Amino acid sequence: MRLVEAVPAFLLIVLSALVLFGTADLVYWAGITPGPRFFPIWIAGVGIALSAALLVQLRRGTDSGTTDLPERGAFARVALTTAGMAAFVLAMPLIGVVPAVLVFMMFILLVVLGQRAMPSAAASAIVAGAIEIVFVRSLKIALPPIPFL
């Protein structure tokens, strides 16, 4: 068993512990009825039991799951894309949705995916235009606007 394969089990144990401690101030049983802590306790118990079952399966080699971690290049693309999305979310209220879309699209296409400039610019413009037409013009949703316009 590689330690990395056990990550889901450890993570669920941590979350189960969080549920147990996070609901410690609630009552399990109130009079004749289960209280607000009743369900969380059982869910946390099931979480711990399932994690233990996965750990046993991994140790015995009977687990049918396969951990498929990406190679360095693929991981870099995913990490950069995630960072790009976080930057996009931060930028939306600051520079407006449409400029943020253009910048994000160009970043992903040029930097992350290594595409040529002209098709990337065209694709970015199409997506930014579509967002403006669908969300702002058609659905009248108040997306963060471009400042000073």
Partner 1 sequence: MSTIELLTQGFTTVFTFKSLAFIFLGVVIGQIIGALPGIGPSAGMALLLPLTFGLDPATAIMMLAGIMYGGQYGGTLTSVLINVPGEASGVMTAVDGHQMAKAGRAGAALSIAAIGSFLAGVGAVAAVAFITPALSAFALRFNAPEYFLLAVLGITAAASLGGSPVRALMAATLGLMIALVGADPVTGAPRLTFDQPALFEGIDFIPVAIGVFGLAEVLSSLERAHDMKPIRTRLKDMWLTAAEWAESRIAILRGGLIGLIVGIMPGAGASVASMLAYVTERRFSRRPERFGKGAIDGVAAAEAANNASAHGATIPMLALGIPGSASTAVLLAALVLHGVRPGPMLMQQEAVLVWGLIASMFVGNVVLLVINLPLAPLCASLLRVPYVFLAPGILVLSLVGAYAATLDMGTVWMCLVFGVLGWLMIKFDIPRPPLVLALVLAQLLETSIRQSLLLSFGSLSIFVERPIAAFLLVLVAGSILLPVIGALRRRFGGI
- In degrees and rounded to multiples of 5, residue 33 shows phi and psi of -130, 150
Toward partner 1, which CB reaches closer, 15 or 149? 15
Whether 77 and 112 have beta carbons less than 8 Å apart is answered as yes
What's the token pair of residue 30?
């109130």
Query: What is the distance between the terminal CA atoms of the chain, rounded to a whole angstrom?
Result: 59
Report if residue 13 touches partner 1, rule: CB under 8 A.
no
Lookup result for tokens 């004749």: 32
Q: Is the dihedral of CA 13, 16, 21, 27 positive or negative?
A: negative
Residues 122-141 as x/- pattern, contact with partner 1 by CB under 8 A: -x--xx--xx--xx---xxx
Site for partner 1 in 67-96 (CB under 8 A): 67-70, 74-75, 77-78, 81-82, 85-86, 88-89, 92-93
Site for partner 1 in 18-47 (CB under 8 A): 18-19, 22-23, 26, 29-30, 32-36, 38-40, 43-44, 46-47
Size of the site for partner 1 (CB under 8 A): 75
